[in-house]
Every structure is written in structure tokens, then in C-alpha cells.
Amino acid sequence: MWTTDAWKDYEVIDTSDGEKLERWGDYILVRPDPQVIWNTPREDSRWKQKNGHYHRSPKGGGEWEFFHLPREWSIEYRDLTFHLKPFSFKHTGLFPEQAVNWDWFSHIIRNAGRPLKVLNLFAYTGGATLAAARAGAFVTHVDASKGMVNWAKENAAASGLADAPIRWLVDDCVKFVEREIRRGNTYDAIIMDPPSYGRGPKGEIWKIEESIFPFLRLTAQILSKDALFFLINSYTTGLQPAVLSYMLNTVITPQFQGHVEAGEIGLPVSSSSLILPCGASGRWVSTR
């Protein structure tokens, strides 16, 4: 399983009975996690000293309960800064497990020996965008939510990247790629983190099981002839690492050769030797 030990401002402290106990900087949150199907003793005192608790509703969704938690605060990963704020469906605006992928492609970008154009699709609050920009890439950041794009811009400013070469776009990712094909624009690397289900700015429906493979084939058309990497992330149960590997080997490898690997990504749990599974990633990298 791929994970990073470089986080200082974030940790999974403990897990039990469908929930995880997390430290986000100075604040402790309890959030549901469907992977935590075990029920172990909650011996850490911070289970009772939490600043926020997201309660899942049996009818779907849920709501936050707060205990002396600010509306917004910040944490850092290496030289990047992220603003956090609890919002709908248990999220805080950051997926810490993705740091292992940020480190992976940042190394590729820094060692490319040339300027790289990177496209980040379904780019959310910009974790991958900022990591790529900090490594020296020219980044195009695309997300259908104006609020998420604005949040990403705030993170960029907090990280000292307000003037970095980042193009911020509020757009439906499929339609954006279709237009880029017509324009003849290409990218040296592509990152995509598609949701299981979503809607575009004009109501466009996205269902990952139906849409991801056709979209991968579409997106491959805007890879440059000297492309260096392609990263797909999935939090959908049905899209296991082997599926991501097969898709990349089917679409990317025949045209660009290179190497494909896929695996689970996870987070270490401080109270045990457990690595908490947090989704899967598929990586294609050029070997030219």
C-alpha cells in the first residue's frame, strides 16, 4: 500500500466501530469511515476530547457537531499550506492520503529537465495543483465547482503560489477536454480525481462506472508526444487497483509505451500498525 510518513500536521490517531479519530493541526475530529468495520476499545482520551464529530444519518448524509472548533484553520504539508473548514458530507477540504501521489509526481516534474504542462481534472481544492506548481510545472486546474476553485486559489495564496503559472477554470471536465482536442492543445502530464457521482455546471451527469473508461480514452488524445505521466485516483469501491492498471495499459501504453503500476493508498494509524485503506491510484509513467 502506498502511504507517506511526511505529515506533521495530520494523523489518524485511532479507528473503531465505523469511525476514525484524526488530528488536523491543533484540532481533533471524529469522522465516519466505511473501511473501519472492526470494533476495538477506544482507549485514547481524545475520543472524548474531540473538537468536531460528524454523525452519519441512517437516512443518508449526516451533520456536524462542534466543540470549540473554529470555522476555518490551516495545516501544512512540506511547503504547502491548506485552509480547512468542515462542510457537507463529512469533508474538510483536503484528502491527506493524496500526499503520497503529490510526492511521486513532484519528483518526476523536478527531474524532467524541461518545463512541463500539467492538467489537473476534477481538481477540488488544489492539493495536486499546488504540489505540481511548487515542483515547477505550468498547471491547468479544472473543476466544475466555482466554490472549490476559489478555495484552491486561497490555498495557493497561503502557500506563496498566488503568482505561480496556474490557470484556474470552472468547467465541466469532459467538455473542457473535448474543446482542448478541437484546439489541438496538449499536456505533458494529466492528473484526474473523478468523483463517483457528480454534476457539471450545467447539470451534466457523471457516473464513474459508466464514464471513466470513455473519458480516459478521450483524455489520452491531449497527451503530448513527450508525455511523462498520467495519474488516476479512485474512491469508488468497484474500481480496484487492478481495474485502474488495466485501463491505463489498454489506453495509454499501446501509444506511449512506458510503465503502469497501481495500488491502494492509505494512512498509517498511530495507535497500531494498521494502514487505513483510502482508495486506489493508477500511475502511468514514461520510460523514454
Least Cα distance to 170 among 205, 195, 196, 141 occurs for 141
Give burial (CB, 10 Å; 0-12/13-18/19+) of 249: middle
pLDDT at residue 93, as a whole number: 96
36-39 contacts at long range (C-beta below 8 A, 24 or more positions apart): 36/276
pLDDT at residue 20, as a whole number: 98
| All structural domains of the chain with their residue ranges | 10-71+80-84, 96-285
* pLDDT, block means (10 residues), the chain with 288 residues: 96 97 98 95 96 90 94 97 92 97 98 97 97 98 96 98 98 95 98 81 71 94 98 87 96 97 97 94 95
Give burial (CB, 10 Å; 0-12/13-18/19+) of 158: middle
How does 25-39 read in b/e, with b if 16+ C-beta sit within 10 Å? Answer: eebbbbbbbeebeee
pLDDT at residue 239, as a whole number: 84
- Residues 96-285: name the CATH superfamily: Vaccinia Virus protein VP39 (3.40.50.150)
CB-based contacts of 95: which residues, under 8 Å, 6+ apart?
Answer: 124, 127, 278
Which class does domain 10-71+80-84 fall in?
mainly beta
pLDDT at residue 236, as a whole number: 82
Judge whether 232 and 248 are in contact, CB under 8 Å: yes
